[in-house]
Amino acid sequence: METSPSPRSVAVFGAGYIGLVTGACLAQLGHRVVVRDVVQQKVDALARGEVPFHEPGLSELILANAGRLSFTLDASVALEGAEVAYVCVDTPPTAAGDADLSRVHAVVDDLLGAAHLRAVVVKSTVPIGTGARIRARLDRAGLDHVGYASNPEFTAEGTAVDDFLHPDRIVVGADDDATADLVAGLHHGVDGPVVRMDVASAELAKLTANALLMTKISFANEIAGLCEATGADVEQVMGAVGMDPRIGSRFLRAGLGWGGSCFPKDGTALKTLASRDGLHLPLLSAVIDVNNAAPGRALQRLKDEIGGVDGKTVTLLGMAFKAGTDDMRQAPSAVVASRLLAEGAEVRCWDPLARVTDPALWDRTARFDDVLKALAGADAAIVVTEWPQLRDLPWQEVAASMASPVLLDGRNLLDPAAMREAGFTYLSVGRP
Ligand code: UDX
């Protein structure tokens, strides 16, 4: 990859998924990067070359760029000589559904004394208007020479490094050309178009992209319900629908719905943001409702099949919010596990990577490393995450080992005919 002809000094605030990927990729592009985080353990682990979560290609990139990339707890060390400060801290939901911006504002406080700073770039997902407020704050502190840009990320977990280095677009929202040029220039070597716009539009572009992706998924789930009622097959329907390039085939997979660190939070944040301005977004509200109902709707079919789950052993295949990640934030597995436990089931679970973030729930389940042992003796199993290795299980043997071979495929991962042939009562989402 071509490196930048004018390497910059960059301070990245936040060593989470976004900050680390941003820092490592900017270093790969030739910039000198210091990543600052407030968690000592995380900084120590990163200094030893250990990435605290699973993200393909990230540790390799960090190691390969060790000469240009360092980690610190100290904001003033990160800002020494920094021309650009990237804000990549998380913006979790508040009780009211807004994005909590306290971490973003704490970083802005740290920036106020930086001597060489030319631009503050926000990558954290923030409500519209945040940029304007930070701009005003910089001006009040006498930093009107420091530019402000919104540079939202569109990277997905599991493919984040590739998404950063080969993006569909790089959105740069800035109110002056010099700042936009500086941020666009940081991406020299990345093969993707830079789209320039004003700050508020960049902030809204990010939330709108996620909301439209959520809409596609919920629409597929709504049609799945209709398929179940009429005998049509949602995979065939959406397969044909997605071949229209005006629609596109991705994000039309029906199942247990979306989870993760972005969609649930960003959907609610957009709704709350609109409501503060007296606006109602009925379409987005319906999209969220359909998603919230998806796990319950699928579970009901399983309960109807086996006569309820009280006293039964149910195995969850997958806990992560999607395959290829260890992230369990807002995972549909948590909804499924809680409902099963509340209705008296004994819950077993298996996942090759998942990092449990809610022990109060998962301590009430039994976790297995061996998927076959997790299934042996169970009354039913549910595919919750589309781990590809599940396709290759010896399903005939599994059926024989279960107390009753009933499987709810919450991700339409397996072949219905093959599963029935293996001896299963096989249920999936929107397929006959
Ligand atoms: C998402 C956006 O894709 C990314 O651009 C943004 O920057 C952050 O949020 P991510 O949360 O990593 O990325 O996951 P993604 O791959 O988009 O999947 C989101 C959820 O939707 C997962 O739970 C997935 O299982 C679900 N999904 C996805 C479906 O249920 N059906 C689909 O067709 C696609």
pLDDT of amino acid 312: 98
Looking up tokens 């549909």 gives 332
Nearest CA to ligand 1 atom 16: 156
Cα–Cα distance measured from residue 291 to residue 289, given in angstroms and rounded to the nearest whole number: 5
Q: Report in angstroms the alpha-carbon separations of 340 from 38, 257, 283, 322, 401.
A: 38, 17, 30, 20, 22
What percentage of the chain reaches a pLDDT higher than 90? 91
Ligand 1 atom having least distance to the Cα of 209: 5
pLDDT of amino acid 18: 96
pLDDT of amino acid 196: 98
Q: Which residues are catalytic?
A: 262
Cα–Cα distance measured from residue 18 to residue 161, given in angstroms and rounded to the nearest whole number: 10
Nearest CA to ligand 1 atom 32: 251
Cα–Cα distance measured from residue 168 to residue 358, given in angstroms and rounded to the nearest whole number: 34
Nearest CA to ligand 1 atom 3: 156
Q: What is the pLDDT of residues 182-238, one digit of tens each?
A: 999 999 999 899 999 999 999 999 999 999 999 999 999 999 999 999 999 999 999
pLDDT of amino acid 217: 98
Helix axes 263-276, 282-306, angle to 10 degrees: 140
CA of 400 to the centre of ligand 1 (A): 35
Which amino acids bring their CB within 6 angstroms of ligand 1?
153-157, 210, 213, 217, 251-253, 255, 257-260, 262-263, 321-322
CA of 122 to the centre of ligand 1 (A): 22
Cα 383–chain centre separation: 20
pLDDT of amino acid 95: 86
Q: How many CB atoms lie within 10 A of CB 289?
A: 11
CA of 135 to the centre of ligand 1 (A): 31
Q: What is the pLDDT of residues 145-196, one digit of tens each?
A: 999 999 999 999 999 999 999 999 999 999 899 999 999 999 999 989 999 9
Q: Report in angstroms the alpha-carbon separations of 60 from 3, 52, 188, 354.
A: 17, 13, 21, 21
Cα–Cα distance measured from residue 218 to residue 29, given in angstroms and rounded to the nearest whole number: 38
Does the fold of domain 230-428 match that of domain 9-197? yes
Nearest CA to ligand 1 atom 31: 253
The side-by-side arrangement of strands in the sheet containing 32-36 is 69-72, 32-36, 9-13, 84-87, 119-122, 147-150, 170-174, 194-197
User: Residue 240 class from Cβ within 10 Å (0-12 exposed, 13-18 middle, 19+ buried)?
Assistant: exposed
CA of 325 to the centre of ligand 1 (A): 11
SS (H, E, C) the chain: CCCCCCCCEEEEECCCHHHHHHHHHHHHCCCEEEEECCCHHHHHHHHCCCCCCCCCCHHHHHHHCHHHEEEECCHHHHHCCCCEEEECCCCCECCCCCECCHHHHHHHHHHCCCCCCCEEEECCCCCCCHHHHHHHHHHHCCCCCCEEEECCCCCCCCCHHHHHHCCCCEEEEECCHHHHHHHHHHCCCCCCCEEEECHHHHHHHHHHHHHHHHHHHHHHHHHHHHHHHHCCCHHHHHHHHHCCCCCCCCCCCCCCCCCCCCHHHHHHHHHHHHHHCCCCCHHHHHHHHHHHHHHHHHHHHHHHHHCCCCCCEEEEECCCCCCCCCCCCCCHHHHHHHHHHHCCCEEEEECCCCCCCCHHHHCCCEEECCHHHHHCCCCEEEECCCCHHHHHCCHHHHHHHCCCCEEEECCCCCCHHHHHHCCCEEEECCCC
Nearest CA to ligand 1 atom 22: 258
Domain 9-197 is found in CATH 3.40.640.10 = no
Residue (of 140, 122, 119) closest to 131 by Cα position: 122
CA of 156 to the centre of ligand 1 (A): 7
Residue (of 321, 209, 207) closest to 266 by Cα position: 207
pLDDT of amino acid 378: 98
**Domain 230-428: CATH superfamily, name plus number:** NAD(P)-binding Rossmann-like Domain (3.40.50.720)
Residue 1 pLDDT > 80, yes or no?
no
Residue (of 118, 125, 121) closest to 107 by Cα position: 121
pLDDT of amino acid 340: 98
Best mutation site among 207, 287, 321, 385 for ligand 1 pocket (most ligand atoms within 8 Å of CB)? 321
Q: How far apart are the first and last CA of the chain?
A: 48
- Under the banding of pLDDT at 50, 70 and 90, the label for residue 2 is confident
Residues 6+ apart with CB under 8 A from 413: 383, 386, 388, 390, 391
Bridge partners, residue 196, by sequence: 172
Indicate the domain borders of the chain. 9-197, 230-428
pTM of the model: 0.94
Q: What is the pLDDT of residues 355-380, one digit of tens each?
A: 998 999 999 999 999 999 999 999 99
Whether 92 and 51 have beta carbons less than 8 Å apart is answered as: no
Q: Both tokens of residue 319?
A: 């806990």
Mean pLDDT for the chain overall: 96
Ligand 1 atom having least distance to the Cα of 325: 12
Nearest CA to ligand 1 atom 25: 322
pLDDT of amino acid 54: 92
Cα–Cα distance measured from residue 217 to residue 256, given in angstroms and rounded to the nearest whole number: 10
CA of 158 to the centre of ligand 1 (A): 10
